[in-house]
Amino acid sequence: MAARPRLPRLPQLTPPAHARRGYSQQEILNELRRLILEGNLPPGTGMPLGELARQFEVSAIPVRESLQTLIGEGLVEHRPNFGYQVTLLTTAELRELYVVRERLESAAMAAAVHNATKWDHDLAKESHARLEKAVLEEDAVAYHRETRNFHLALVRASGMPRVVHMLEYAWNITEPVQPMVHVTTLDRVVLHADHSKQLAAFLARDAETLLAVSEQHSARLNGVLSHLPTDIGLFAEPVPELNEPVQDANTGE
């Protein structure tokens, strides 16, 4: 049996709102979600109840409840006789989720571009400026974080809260992989050029151009994803299909 993945050294936890009472179950949930989404707990990271309970100085019960909620959000999975771990996707599953993201984002952007207010325009420009700063400073972690903020800024005004919620849900499941952290500097520069075109079309309320540029961006992004490293533990091994022949361990056939 493979060894259970262990909990890595965690960064400084956000203190509880009430120091004397300690962490509430909601605070534990929020903190675990934050650690996963910010890449502090990579795919496949073990999340043993006992160790997490000691980190938060609580019993195992609120930790278990938090992990169950994160399972429902797609961020954590539980394997019998193995325990909890951060969800480990296959490369095919990552690509599928990006297709879902692309479809949901396009639907929301088509509406948002016409509904956007000055506040929405300012938010998009501010997000783009932070992206530009991350590119210039070659800050891969910041670039990954701000990419999400920029894309969401283009759909907030859609008036389609359920679609935006589904988009964020699909985005969350891909976050532990931190794709933009693992691509090259040149890839980030090229992808950011697309962001600049998206921003210009969004500000001009040009839905046709925005959707066309976004489609090109998605195609370019899919190409980048296909070259993510597969030998550093980011992805799970694909499960053989039922109709695939199974090689005999003795004969090799």
Distance (Å, whole) CA 191 – CA 30 = 31
Taking the model in full, what pTM does it have? 0.84
Lookup result for tokens 């210009």:
200
Under a CB-based contact definition with an 8 Å cutoff, are residues 176 and 167 in contact? Answer: no
What's the CATH number of domain 91-225, 3.20.20.140, 2.170.150.70, 1.20.120.530, 3.40.190.290? Answer: 1.20.120.530
pLDDT at 201 over 60: yes
What is the model's pLDDT at position 80?
83
Cα-based distances in Å from 172 to 34, 101, 168, 215: 10, 10, 6, 21
Phi, psi of 21 (to 5 degrees): -85, -20
**Hey, where are the domains in the chain?**
25-86, 91-225
Pairing of strands 83-86, 76-79: antiparallel
Distance (Å, whole) CA 168 – CA 157 = 14
Distance (Å, whole) CA 252 – CA 141 = 44
Phi, psi of 46 (to 5 degrees): -70, 145
Question: What is the average pLDDT across 193-200?
Answer: 98
Instruction: Encode 105-122: b = buried (16+ Cβ within 10 Å), e = exposed.
Output: bebbbbbbbeebeeebbe
Beta bridge partners of 79: 83
Domain spanning 25-86: CATH 1.10.10.10 = yes
Over residues 41-94, the pLDDT tens digits come to 999 999 999 999 999 999 999 999 999 999 999 999 998 888 999 999 999 999
